[in-house]
Structure 1
């Protein structure tokens, strides 16, 4: 890795930093941000501790999958990577069926109702990340990997960034896309608020007796939601939210017992669960950054907001952050402004923090409502779901919001 050029030209005059933007974190959101900003003409660097392994079609389907909304697919298409992802392995779904174990109320969403061919696509995280990384060099993104940030300091016209190996670089703007536990967020002194759900999301791929019919299925149980998401190979990826002790028991079951448990939890909507493979679990939490910006510094993706997976919107929120940041910086540059000026970063932070907070608290409210077990409350919840299913304009509004429209 090369140290940046000196900060003065041959005439002795101070010049700007070598980089416009340095992004820390090379997951889906960070890599998408690096590619989007480079394609928009910003000199960009991506700093990541570990380079992702190349995705290979012969490998088993990654346990970590994401439901990409049309807004996210549109961004990936604009970045020139969606065709490769789509041709590799994706599970499009045109329908979504959500039902309540307590009241029996159900709601259906259909892509055709909004003139769309699909509501979204289930895609492996590793496929999206790998495809983005393969495009970085051609876009001119400087990759620093393996590398970690040891510290940073905002100066008059730059953020001076020190790496753990003693190297340094300077950029007008530092972007933290380093995940929900974000070390950079802590270094910047930005706190968080939220709550621990005391639950884990159990994930696995299962084979079902009946085909998934290109439908995303979700059943709300008193213990938490169970989602069955359609994979390209005909199986379903499950995300089963369970209290921590129950999640541990589910992970310890043998294959037959686990299949039976998932079948019961899904009300055998797709028939018996006939096979499963590797299982894993991850903690569920709500974590919202108290602010999204500091001097020459912004948060992006899970570093800014970690949300309950019941709506499958975590990565989609992060990719909407990417769109907003790119557009904000492009507008600032067109107006001749410093792209990391406080008022520029406040614009990005204000717009995304408002939208992300509204969504995150909405997901949290849904989780609380579906945890109700008292009979009158369950009946009221069922009535609300049935009304929403019958009110086409309101249902289309909800579906459009989830799609990013």
Structure 2
């Protein structure tokens, strides 16, 4: 069986489903293919262990796709404050008062209602999948992966694992960091594995839903708290939260093997006093973290978006926001090509996409690395530099708010000093 489409999107995760929905609305005939089954319509009471901090820019994009209302109807937690501090004890700690090295970003200072929303990945994907299925120009193919890709000058042909062939003028690989589409297109990647891994812990805590997310940095990595929705009515007076613990793979394996009461005790010892009183551990998972960047964003009639093109250190939960920015940019370029009667798979249009997105993604990758290298060490001069930097950020609200607006997707450029610091990072030339 053979079917023809304008565009085939491989991967129906958050970025792929968003692209399928947006391009379908723009009048393209779309197929979106994913090896996973379609998301269940019922939402479990316990939260998904994978969550993201959706920025104000992502919220606007999701609203334009019709996905934001269903996300809010399911569950999303706004946060109005974000705090960062250095929690490491070292010989230079006494040189700067600890209160001066705590930086807090506040939505009120930015004339905004909130800095963003903490949303479970499964909630965002479920809402976007529903939007894609509702578009008459979109055909969804779930439960099947791709086994082959062939390209000619005029079209690309994908062979699915059930033998079906899909012809398209353009294939978009949005199938994640281990992208099969990228491999079949012959696009290589540069990859740097970090020494740390991240452990994510779904918990319940006593008290109302908090409006702050925070990260306290240790030499082994940060300890982070992300607020989620209320646990009522099943657990009156309690709320859900997500904890992130960065550490060595060996330490995290030890922690994951502990019975829940012992793990709870370890968390309460290792996390800062800002942690609300925990009542229950629901789920625990860990995963390696790496910086990865495709050597090219397109090859022939195949183009990459989201994690298939780039992965970053998840320190600030910005990965999916970058993916949504890819999607908006690519959608706008393809819409303009269609309006102009041009080939949507032309190297000029796909090259424009790469020229616009690679520098922006690279900036965010380097920003996350700046935090990683500055905070994840025990070198005394680095302690002093980062504490001075946090003190300066506290004392200079204009620069601090510029960084916040960049992370929220409201500004396109970082302050000049931050950009200068990024040029000093190791591994720069590999990106």
**Which TM-score band applies after superposition, normalised by the shorter structure?**
over 0.9
Matches within 5 A, 1:139-178: 139-140=135-136, 141-178=138-175
1:297 lines up with 2:302 in the alignment? yes
Per-residue CA distance 1:124-182 (angstroms, 9 max, x = gap): 11111111112223212111222221222222221122222222121111000111011
TM-score (norm 2): 0.87
2:112 aligned residue: 116
Once residues 331 and 137 of structure 1 are traced to their aligned partners in structure 2, the CA distance between those partners, rounded to angstroms, is 24
The CA deviation at 1:58 is 4.3
Aligned to 2:47, the other structure's residue is in SS state: coil
Equivalent residue pairs, number? 391
Per-residue CA distance 1:180-231 (angstroms, 9 max, x = gap): 0111111111111131113221111223356563100111111111110010
The CA deviation at 1:232 is 1.0
User: 2:171 touches 2:302 (CA, 8 Å); kept in 1?
Assistant: yes
Matches within 5 A, 1:272-287: 272-287=277-292
1:91 lines up with 2:52 in the alignment? no
1:231 aligned residue: 228
User: 1:262 touches 1:273 (CA, 8 Å); kept in 2?
Assistant: no
Once residues 50 and 377 of structure 1 are traced to their aligned partners in structure 2, the CA distance between those partners, rounded to angstroms, is 45
2:415 aligned residue: none
Aligned to 2:229, the other structure's residue is in SS state: coil
User: 1:285 touches 1:308 (CA, 8 Å); kept in 2?
Assistant: yes
Please identify, of 172-181 and 97-106, the stretch whose mean Cα deviation from structure 2 is larger. 97-106
Matches within 5 A, 1:64-143: 64-102=50-88, 104=98, 105-140=101-136, 141-143=138-140
The CA deviation at 1:55 is 4.6
1:349 aligned residue: 354
The CA deviation at 1:53 is 3.0
1:195 aligned residue: 192
User: 1:291 touches 1:353 (CA, 8 Å); kept in 2?
Assistant: no
Structure 2 residue ranges without an equivalent (≥5): 231-238, 411-431
Structure 1 residue ranges without an equivalent (≥5): 5-17
Matches within 5 A, 1:41-80: 41-80=27-66
Task: Tell me: CA distance 1:153–1:57, structure 2 relative to 1, closer, same or farther (3 Å).
Answer: closer
1:11 aligned residue: none
Aligned to 1:277, the other structure's residue is in SS state: strand
Once residues 149 and 276 of structure 1 are traced to their aligned partners in structure 2, the CA distance between those partners, rounded to angstroms, is 38
Per-residue CA distance 1:316-363 (angstroms, 9 max, x = gap): 111111000001111112222111110000001111111111111221
Once residues 113 and 175 of structure 2 are traced to their aligned partners in structure 1, the CA distance between those partners, rounded to angstroms, is 34
1:386 lines up with 2:372 in the alignment? no
What is the RMSD of the two structures over their aligned residues, measured on CA atoms? 1.5
Task: Tell me: CA distance 1:120–1:178, structure 2 relative to 1, closer, same or farther (3 Å).
Answer: same
User: 1:260 touches 1:272 (CA, 8 Å); kept in 2?
Assistant: no
User: 2:187 touches 2:294 (CA, 8 Å); kept in 1?
Assistant: yes
The CA deviation at 1:72 is 0.9
Please identify, of 195-204 and 73-82, the stretch whose mean Cα deviation from structure 2 is larger. 195-204
Runs (4+) off by over 6 Å:
none
The CA deviation at 1:303 is 0.5
